[in-house]
């Protein structure tokens, strides 16, 4: 199995074709021979008529995708009977993977869309910094490993959909207790049985915020994609995200795939 259908959401106020989520989604679709569906919406409801042209941006992204040889479909209209976050999450359920940014430029913003995708779509979501200008490459992936179901889900989604050549498991110690019955060799052997080379490394939190520690250790492993489980306290998604999830959404430094 590999990714065949990707939903890209872009905010009209901040979206660009040459970098960020749109450019990354196009390169991701091209690498995997996937179809791309583009959904673009104006989110700044406090400034109507601000000049954000969602249909024009969607057409520009679609043209860029087609120029790259990617089959592309545009969602030109959406219902206003429900919130935009719910609309995007509903559309995402029909795809293998969702791509979005995390901009907070307006009262309703990409960060809220990203949360909705992660916790309401049932699909993995790949978040891309607005300034990221490198194409997708899944040859080397770093996966945050803390022995949780969410981490296992994110790792499994990544292997199944993106087929990375190598996965470096990263465990950050000093942030929370990580009880386990598996040793490092067992973890690495499990990767190899799934057709993926890789290893496992531990790093101390050393006073860093957990999201920064993961990003730095991923960069040290020469990874171009970070993978991690998304967590929120049960029933309280609107108010209490898990610490690492909230930090990643707040300060995204590299493309990051999250599954819940």
Q: Which domains does the chain have, with CATH numbers?
A: 5-127 (3.40.50.620), 140-259 (3.40.50.620)
The reported pLDDT for the residue numbered 243 is 74
Interior angle at CA 29, CA 253 and CA 36, nearest 5: 105
Residue 238 is predicted with a pLDDT of: 46
- Claim: this prediction has a pTM higher than 0.85: yes
Q: Report the alpha-carbon distance of residue 146 to residue 176 in Å, rounded.
A: 9
Question: Can you read off the two tokens belonging to residue 142?
Answer: 């770093």
Residue 259: strand, helix, or coil: strand
Helices within the chain (DSSP H only): 20-32, 54-67, 84-92, 110-120, 149-162, 184-193, 210-220, 243-250
Q: List pLDDT tens digits, range 144-202.
A: 998 889 999 999 999 999 999 999 999 998 877 777 777 878 889 999 999 999 899 99
pLDDT digits (tens, 9 = 90+) for 13-37: 889 999 999 999 999 999 999 999 9
What DSSP element (H or E) covers 204? strand 197-204
Backbone angles phi, psi at 56, to 5 degrees: -65, -40
Q: Is the pLDDT of residue 5 over 70?
A: yes
Decide if 123 contacts 100 (C-beta within 8 A).
no
**What is the C-alpha separation between 77 and 65, in angstroms, rounded?**
20
What are the phi and psi torsion angles at 143 (to 5°)?
-120, 120
Q: Is the pLDDT of residue 130 over 70?
A: yes
Please tell me what DSSP assigns to residue 221.
Answer: T
Q: Which band of pLDDT confidence, cut at 50, 70 and 90, is reported for residue 48?
A: low
| Cβ-contact 3, 94 below 8 angstroms | no
Pairing outcome for strands 256-259 and 125-127: antiparallel
Angle between helices 54-67 and 20-32 (to 10 degrees): 30
Do 208 and 244 form a contact (C-beta atoms < 8 A)?
no
Structure tokens at 181: 């019955």
| Tokens found for residue 30 | 């091209």
């Amino acid at each position: 199995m590999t990714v065949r259908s990707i939903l890209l959401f872009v905010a009209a106020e901040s979206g660009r074709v040459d970098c960020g989520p749109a450019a990354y989604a196009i390169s991701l679709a091209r690498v995997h021979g996937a179809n791309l569906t583009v959904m673009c919406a104006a989110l700044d409801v406090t400034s109507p008529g601000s000049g954000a042209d969602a249909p024009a941006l969607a057409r520009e992204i679609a043209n860029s995708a087609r120029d790259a040889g990617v089959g592309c479909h545009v969602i030109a209209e959406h219902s206003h009977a429900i919130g935009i976050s719910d609309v995007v999450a509903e559309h995402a359920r029909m795809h293998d993977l969702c791509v979005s940014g995390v901009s907070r430029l307006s009262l309703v913003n990409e960060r809220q869309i990203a949360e909705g995708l992660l916790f309401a779509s049932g699909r993995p979501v790949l978040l891309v910094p607005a300034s990221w200008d490198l194409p997708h490459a899944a040859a080397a992936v770093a996966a945050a490993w803390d022995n949780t179901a969410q981490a296992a889900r994110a790792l499994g989604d990544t292997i199944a959909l993106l087929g990375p050549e190598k996965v470096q498991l990263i465990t950050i110690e000093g942030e929370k207790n990580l009880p386990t019955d598996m040793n490092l060799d067992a973890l690495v052997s499990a990767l190899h049985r799934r057709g993926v080379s890789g290893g496992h490394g531990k790093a101390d939190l050393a006073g860093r915020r957990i999201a920064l520690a993961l990003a730095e250790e991923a960069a040290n492993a020469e990874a171009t994609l970070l993978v991690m489980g998304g967590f929120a306290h049960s029933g309280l998604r609107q108010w209490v995200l898990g610490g690492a999830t909230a930090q990643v959404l707040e300060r995204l430094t590299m493309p990051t795939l999250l599954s819940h």
